Amino acid sequence: MPESDHKTPPLSDQLHTYRDKVKFTFPEGSSLPDPEGLLAVGAGVRRAIDLHEGDTVDAEAFQAVIRAAVQLNTAPKG
């Protein structure tokens, strides 16, 4: 796994596996567009996508959230 430069915030802060799901947590998820409602409402600005076995995922919507997170992550701050 590549080491972080510690200057760029992580795209997905956490990827956890649980007995019943996989959780992708985005540290600035409340800033991401989510017209399909994939991101669950979390505390503060964090949002997550929970995937359970057997879930049908809208691949285009999932990719759109990832792309938006990349864009947010690489945008100049200031």
Query: Residue 25 in contact with residue 12, Cβ under 8 Å?
Result: yes
pLDDT of residue 12: 54
Q: How does residue 75 score in pLDDT terms, banded at 50, 70 and 90?
A: confident
What would the pLDDT profile of 4-55 be if each residue is shown by its tens digit?
A: 455 555 555 678 899 999 998 888 889 999 989 999 877 788 899 999 999 9
* Domain range list for the chain: 14-74
- Closest alpha carbon to 39 in 19, 66, 21, 18: 66
Q: What is the pTM of this model?
A: 0.74
Q: How does residue 1 score in pLDDT terms, banded at 50, 70 and 90?
A: very low
Contacts of range 56-65, beta carbons closer than 8 Å, 24 or more positions apart: 61/34, 61/35, 61/36, 62/38, 64/33, 64/36, 65/26, 65/32, 65/33, 65/34, 65/38, 65/39
Q: 């959780």: which residue's tokens?
A: 23
